[in-house]
Amino acid sequence: MRFIKVLTGGFWDLVKMNLLFCACAFIPAAAFLVGLLGYFTAAAYILALIAAFPVGGAATAYVFCITKLLRDEPVFVWHDFKRKFLENIKQAALPGMLCAAFLYAQVFLWGPLIVGGAATAPLWLLPGFVFLIIFGMVAPYIFLQFAYIELGMLAIMKNSVLVSFAYAPRSFMGSIMGGAIWAVFFAFLPRSAFLTPLLILIGVSISLLLCLMWVWPVVDKQFSIVESLSNAKTME
């Protein structure tokens, strides 16, 4: 199975990527947690959004490294992650901050359900679930294009929506598979809390790998990325 092959063959690379991404997301997550606990609430939320500035660049570097694993190419995590991060930190900043804002909103939306259990779920959570699925369908295309294609931000955002729905079955499966471990984790809180260190170590990498196994072939087909990379190497 492809997933097992990539997971076992690139396990330590996936761990390194996970820790690098968590390091980039630590300050915004910490600021948001301070707000949730009721300390400096408004200021903490604003700081959480501002501090999410590097998240877009980190997400771009992350998907680039994982897709190298999917292409059976060697990954030099520190070099590849740093290079793509620095190349895209400015251009991908706004999409990264918007993604962070969306995920913060999900905490407010789903928080009562996580704390109180399924019996507390109001009917208006259903549209929230739909938007969460759509977010998972579109977001990977955004950062994959930042990683591989030289386009303006608005063109990338437009392409992401169009391609996501043009290949809706694969996009949907990428969203579902990518979010599965997080859905299980939050559904079984607080009993699943002991898994938190494992998620910090490799959880994001597993989630993203499961998602990109469905989404990456679409992006490669649509933009002929592997062919372009192969031609560039031949010309060298």
For the purposes of burial, counting CB atoms within 10 Å of the CB of 34, is it exposed (0-12), middle (13-18) or buried (19 or more)? middle
pLDDT given for residue 108 in this prediction = 78
Instruction: Compute the distance between CA of residue 167 and CA of residue 33 in angstroms, rounded to an integer.
Output: 36
pLDDT given for residue 119 in this prediction = 44
Helix locations, the chain, DSSP H: 2-9, 11-36, 41-50, 55-70, 77-88, 93-116, 125-148, 153-166, 168-187, 196-198, 204-223, 225-235
Q: Residue 170 pLDDT more than 50?
A: yes
The average confidence (pLDDT) of the chain is 89
Task: State the residue for tokens 């598979």.
Answer: 177
Q: Residue 70 pLDDT more than 80?
A: yes
Q: Measure Cα distances from 190 to 26, 34, 36, 115, 195 in Å.
A: 22, 20, 17, 9, 10
The arithmetic mean of pLDDT across residues 218-236, rounded, is 81
Question: pLDDT by residue (tens digit) across 142-161?
Answer: 999 999 998 899 999 999 99
Instruction: Compute the distance between CA of residue 186 and CA of residue 95 in angstroms, rounded to an integer.
Output: 25
Give 231 or 75, the one with higher predicted confidence: 75
DSSP 1: -
Q: Residue 124 pLDDT more than 90?
A: no
The arithmetic mean of pLDDT across residues 25-45, rounded, is 88
Q: Three-state DSSP class for 117?
A: coil
Q: Residue 120 pLDDT more than 90?
A: no
pLDDT given for residue 58 in this prediction = 97
**What pTM, to 2 d.p., does this model score?**
0.91
Instruction: Give the DSSP H/E element, type plus range, for residue 209.
Output: helix 204-223
Share of the chain above pLDDT 90, in %: 64
Q: Residue 114 pLDDT more than 70?
A: no
Structure tokens at 28: 């915004």
Q: Which amino acid is residue 136, in one-letter code?
A: G
The arithmetic mean of pLDDT across residues 103-127, rounded, is 64
Give 3 or 55, the one with higher predicted confidence: 55
The arithmetic mean of pLDDT across residues 95-111, rounded, is 86
Question: pLDDT by residue (tens digit) across 188-218?
Answer: 877 888 999 999 999 999 999 999 999 999 9
Q: Three-state DSSP class for 150?
A: coil
39 sits in the region (left: phi over 0; alpha: psi -120 to 50; else beta) called: beta
Share of the chain above pLDDT 70, in %: 91
